[in-house]
Chains A and B, each alone.
Chain A
């Protein structure tokens, strides 16, 4: 009798405990701030896919789309922090200063800033993806599939993230085809279908028969489809927008990271960190490979993907030379994260200068 009482007492304690933990866990609310519309089929769209994964994991979420990086960002962040959100993901570089400013005022709210480098308060983390790993795959495909040996590349802004992508892409393409040239057009926008389309047309006119992009809209793959050249999807699987042109896409897969971080907030284990995940951690995903690609290329790409994931292959393995022929990375060495984070020079084989 005694034993039974004790046992039931203990088990009810356990039950109460589990219920409380569960209740606390479910109460965590996450908010997401987007630069564009959720329907852009690029950057913001993929963040929203990640948000839905957080919802599916049983948490409440809120989002605000189309938040300009002007004085308005700070107000939106403060309002979200004020209205019972425990963790706020700010998904554009321009939110960096407002995020840190508002984080100071709300020490109990966690802030996660994508693609930035400032973590001025203990409640601010940053995260980004190693998209350059995906571009190593795209470069390999582009170098193999091109006939004109001219590859077009629509770039957004001359920041290390984008320069790194161009370099990683070009290095991979040269490896399979030493004769290729990468031609860059700077669109100076992340999302502007009109400008992106103009840039793609200009590159096709210059003889490019494969177009890569580091901007977010589907305009470029659609132009490529019309012109009968190849292209790659950016951020999301863009195959359905240009089934003939798109050979594969590099997808931004934020869901696992978001679920992880929101769970950490719920469990009280969240701590500040700087995350930079690639193919291995599943933050960068390669979409299905198009059947227009020869079978041996497809198996080669599959193997490369596995090697990048395991770390056997690094996108920046020496010898790497810059445009003037100076050694950037010595033979047998790989570029470290510090070098990658500040990369502001083109490698050999890229045409033109970085806009200054």
Chain B
């Protein structure tokens, strides 16, 4: 007989084991879906997860894709750890890209070493400004940050639309919705000749190191953790909750803004309507898959990045619909949430008594 028993304490081993289990279950379920669709499951999984990164170029593309996901997820982990549900990273990314893109356009056809740092800083500030809206509304007016941050995503996309269609559109561009190309001084340098991987990856790695330090070595990290477990406890302990809410939102917004900078001053090189294939939302999956732990987030961003690349390869070589990539992302999150059940409950096999 099987009996489900509540655990006295959430198991720490299982806490880190469930993401692996979720990925494994996703692979099994994915193989099953391929089989039902009439594809050879192992071949399909090979094209999905191995072929895209089998060479140097493929691997560099994986890192390129994982960079914004990692950066945003690190930022989000500050919010999520302290019970602040910032769902609007996509908007903060977009607004950061708008501000930094605007600055880059100001330096159109100008050269100089000082341009890039200003452009990067502008993106971080843009993201912070945008994230401060839900933060301030939450602290002073008690609004729901989930709703506010989510709605602001659409606002930011409309602002971007307006700018690239109207005032910022390329004057030589027949009114198509795009800006001019940024000058080389406003672009992140490429790391290797012929590959698209750019210096933005160092921003992501820096964020990983800093976040690890803050989470585990500072008083602020401890406060965040306590607030995450129980807001009431945090209040009794006399932590300044409002300050912390605003701070974590600012950090999160800066990271998302920097991710936007990485896209527009990296592989894209201009502003147009589609600067992000919803990195801000996908990064939520990454943050949870990585268990809000900086190292976990690195691995999670690589796993999720590969679902994008794999979907393309699988369509090119096996004619598998590209939207399977999104199905995989959805399945990872689903299995992760489902297996979290094991954190709090354990399954007991009880021998039948006669």
Contact = CB atoms under 8 A, between A and B. Distances in A.
Interface of A: 31, 37, 62-72, 74-76, 78-80, 83, 93-94, 97, 117, 157-160, 188, 341-342, 344, 355-356
B165 A157 contact: yes
B263 interface: yes
Given A70-B268, A72-B277, A188 B165 contact: yes
Q: Which of B161, B176, B269, B317 has the most CB of A within 10 A?
A: B176
Given A64-B322, A341-B174, A69 B312 contact: no
Contacts of B272: 69, 94
A355 B165 contact: yes
Interface in B287-311: 308-309
- List of 8 A-B pairs having minimum Cβ-Cβ separation, nearest first: A71-B267, A69-B274, A68-B277, A70-B274, A356-B166, A159-B175, A64-B315, A66-B322
Contacts of A71: 64, 196, 263, 266-268
A160 B308 CA distance: 34
Q: Which of B167, B174, B313 is most buried by chain A, counting CB atoms within 10 A of its CB?
A: B174
27 contacts: A37-B323, A62-B319, A64-B312, A64-B316, A65-B321, A65-B323, A66-B322, A68-B274, A69-B272, A69-B273, A69-B274, A71-B64, A71-B263, A71-B268, A72-B277, A72-B312, A74-B267, A76-B316, A79-B313, A79-B316, A94-B178, A94-B272, A157-B165, A157-B177, A159-B174, A344-B175, A355-B165
Contact of A75 (B61, B263, B268): B61
A57 B165 CA distance: 40
Contacts of A64: 312, 315-316, 322
B183 interface: no
Contacts, number: 81
A27 to B, nearest CB: 17
Interface string B59-90: 00100100000000000000000000000000
Given A71-B263, A117-B174, A355 B323 contact: no
A356 B309 CA distance: 37
Contacts of A342: 174
Contacts of B269: 97
A45 to B, nearest CB: 14
A97 B274 contact: no
A312 to B, nearest CB: 29
Nearest to B269: A97
Contacts of A74: 196, 267
Most B C-beta atoms less than 10 A away, residue of A80, A160, A188 = A188
A97 B175 contact: no
Nearest to B308: A72
B276 interface: yes
B100 interface: no
B264 to A, nearest CB: 9
Interface in B249-280: 263, 266-270, 272-277
Contacts of B276: 70
Contacts of A78: 57
B278 to A, nearest CB: 9
Nearest to A64: B315
Contact of A188 (B161, B275, B316, B323): B161
Contacts of A93: 176
Contact of A158 (B165, B273, B277, B313): B165
Nearest to A160: B174
B315 A63 contact: yes
A83 B315 CA distance: 13
Contacts of A68: 274, 277
Contact of A62 (B64, B166, B274, B316): B316
A87 to B, nearest CB: 15
Nearest to A85: B316
A78 B316 CA distance: 12
Nearest to A117: B174
Contacts of B273: 69, 94
Given A83-B317, A94-B178, A158-B175, 18 more contacts: A31-B316, A62-B316, A64-B315, A64-B322, A65-B322, A69-B274, A70-B275, A70-B276, A71-B263, A71-B266, A71-B268, A80-B316, A93-B176, A94-B273, A97-B181, A97-B270, A157-B177, A160-B175
Contacts of B174: 117, 159-160, 341-342
Interface string B143-179: 0000000000000000001000111000000111110
Contacts of B309: 75
A68 to B, nearest CB: 4
Contacts of A62: 316, 319
A63 to B, nearest CB: 7
A343 B220 CA distance: 58
Interface in B37-69: 57, 61, 64
A71 B322 CA distance: 16
A159 B273 CA distance: 14
Given A71-B263, A355-B166, A66 B176 contact: no
B162 to A, nearest CB: 8
B289 to A, nearest CB: 21
A72 to B, nearest CB: 6
Contacts of B263: 70-71
Nearest to A76: B312
B165 A94 contact: no
Contacts of B321: 65
Interface string B25-47: 00000000000000000000000
Nearest to B263: A71
Contacts of B175: 158-160, 344
Nearest to A39: B321
B315 A159 contact: no
B174 to A, nearest CB: 6
B265 to A, nearest CB: 11
Nearest to A341: B174
A94 B274 contact: yes
